[in-house]
Amino acid sequence: MADYHLLMRLYGDLSDLTEEKCAQCNPPYKCCSVQRCKDALKGMNRVVLEIVEENVDEDGSGVNGMKFLSPTGCVLRAIDRKACALWICPQHFEDVEFRDQYFDLVNQIMEAEKK
Ligand code: SF4
Ligand code: SF4
């Protein structure tokens, strides 16, 4: 069975790495969408869903109607929005240091997800 705490840390590290790029985008976080927020909701287990629903406005208080997008980024933990956390546009792979860190974390996540 996958190690939940390890995965939580790895997705968090990946999100921290990409956050810097996405925050500087124009507009910031432009790959976020209402549909992606809905997809994240669908993937949550009941316990997480209850916590999230208690802390996020029913009608979505986020930027441009996106339930989970605040002006400073996503309010969800990275492990609760895996597809979003894994995504970064390929243009940033020209930054070799970033690319190496990104794929190192993705490979660790893939290994941890298999267990
Ligand atoms: S993935 Fe790329 S295009 Fe999308 S918000 Fe992040 S930096 Fe911007
Ligand atoms: S990162 Fe967060 S705010 Fe952006 S689309 Fe995913 S769930 Fe929504």
Cis peptide, bond prior to residue 27, ω within 30 of zero: yes
pTM value is: 0.89
pLDDT, mean of each 10-residue run, the chain (115 residues): 93 97 95 92 81 66 78 91 96 97 98 91
Q: Where are the alpha helices (DSSP H) in the chain?
A: 4-23, 34-42, 46-55, 82-86, 96-114
pLDDT of residue 1: 80
Residue nearest to atom 6 of ligand 1 (CA): 22
* Nearest C-alpha neighbor of 13 from the set 115, 111, 103, 113: 103
Which ligand places an atom closest to the C-alpha of 20? 1
Q: Where are the domains of the chain?
A: 4-114
pLDDT value for 19: 95
- The predicted structure's pLDDT at residue 52: 76
Query: Hunting for tokens 């190690």 — which residue is that?
Result: 3
Nearest CA to ligand 2 atom 3: 69
Q: Are 39 and 47 in contact (CB under 8 A)?
A: no
